[in-house]
Amino acid sequence: MSKSHLNLKAVFNKERTFRPKKRFDPGTVKFDLHKKAQASLRSGLDLKTIVVLPEGEDLNDWIAVHVVDFFNRINLIYGTVSDFCTNESCPIMSGGPRYEYRWQDNGKYKKPTNLSASEYVAELMQWIEQLINDEAMFPTKVGTPFPKSFQGTCKKILTRLHRVFVHVYIHHFDRVHSMGAEAHINACYKHFYYFVRNFNLVDRRELEPLKEMQMTICHS
């Protein structure tokens, strides 16, 4: 077994997941869609093709499955650098000197608030976890309609998850590279990028911090 393979096993060990993974129950529409999406990923198909809505499927179901999958994967990615992303090393949630992100959730933080990167990500993951476990927002039962606010909420979730990619790539890429995890994280990012662009779920301005990398690896 190669050294890089051993590194990846250590990096993406379940114990390093930042928060518990969200799973769909077998027998549900979303479980079947999730399995279909995962099978397509493993098949080696072009990522631009994989993100397209399968014929006959509901768009909101497709978005829901991907939001949960990206939550789980970005969770895992951040877990690989979380030991190096401290209040001291990253006192502001940012993507280089030009981009700073403040946290607001209309609960504990009613106004945009400067947090360290680790605090921002912790608040973000908790906020997303509550939303995707809320049956009123992410219904799992067949025939239960999605709320009118569903796609708007997903846009906000995916926009904020993209900021985690921005922070990891700009501030912790040396760690990613030293672990031999670069190719894996690039593949996760490409999948995310093609999905949000295909369904216009993240504003282009939010994608700007990683524009050079997108031009290199996404060929958009």
State pTM to two decimals: 0.83
For 170-216, the pLDDT digits (tens) are 999 998 888 888 888 888 999 999 999 999 999 999 999 999 989 88
> Which residues, in sequence order, are bridge partners of residue 100?
94
- Per the model's pLDDT, the better-predicted residue between 40 and 139 turns out to be 139
The mean of the pLDDT values for the chain is: 83
How far is residue 131 from each of residues 50, 139, 161, measured CA to CA in Å?
Answer: 25, 11, 14
Amino acid at 14: K
Residue 19 confidence (pLDDT) above 90: no
Q: How many domains are there within the chain?
A: 1
CATH number at residue 67: 1.20.140.30
For 61-110, the pLDDT digits (tens) are 999 999 999 999 999 899 989 999 999 999 999 998 999 999 999 889 99
What mean pLDDT is predicted for residues 26-48?
Answer: 59
Residue 3 confidence (pLDDT) above 50: no
User: For residue 129, how many C-alpha atoms fall within 13 Å in the half-sphere facing its CB?
Assistant: 14
Please tell me which of 18-32, 93-107, 149-163 the model is most confident about, judged by mean pLDDT.
149-163
User: What letter would DSSP give residue 19?
Assistant: S
pLDDT at 177: 86
Please tell me which of 3-7, 101-105, 131-135, 213-217 the model is most confident about, judged by mean pLDDT.
101-105
Of the candidates 215, 168, 214, the residue with the CA atom closest to the CA atom of residue 192: 214
pLDDT at 48: 84
Of the candidates 135, 163, 172, the residue with the CA atom closest to the CA atom of residue 150: 135
> Which residues, in sequence order, are bridge partners of residue 113?
103
Of the candidates 160, 145, 163, 155, the residue with the CA atom closest to the CA atom of residue 197: 155
How far is residue 17 from each of residues 75, 80, 93, measured CA to CA in Å?
Answer: 6, 8, 20
Which domain covers residue 72, as residue numbers?
3-217
Binding residue per annotation — 85? yes
Within the chain, residue ranges assigned H as helices are: 3-11, 29-42, 47-50, 59-81, 117-132, 150-171, 173-178, 182-198, 204-207, 211-217
Lowest mean pLDDT among 15-24, 123-132, 135-144, 196-205: 15-24
pLDDT at 140: 82
What mean pLDDT is predicted for residues 101-127?
Answer: 94
Report the 10 Å Cβ neighbour count for 174. 10
pLDDT at 4: 38
Binding residue per annotation — 90? yes
Residue 32 confidence (pLDDT) above 70: no
CB 119, CB 92: distance < 8 Å: no
Of the candidates 87, 83, 88, the residue with the CA atom closest to the CA atom of residue 16: 83
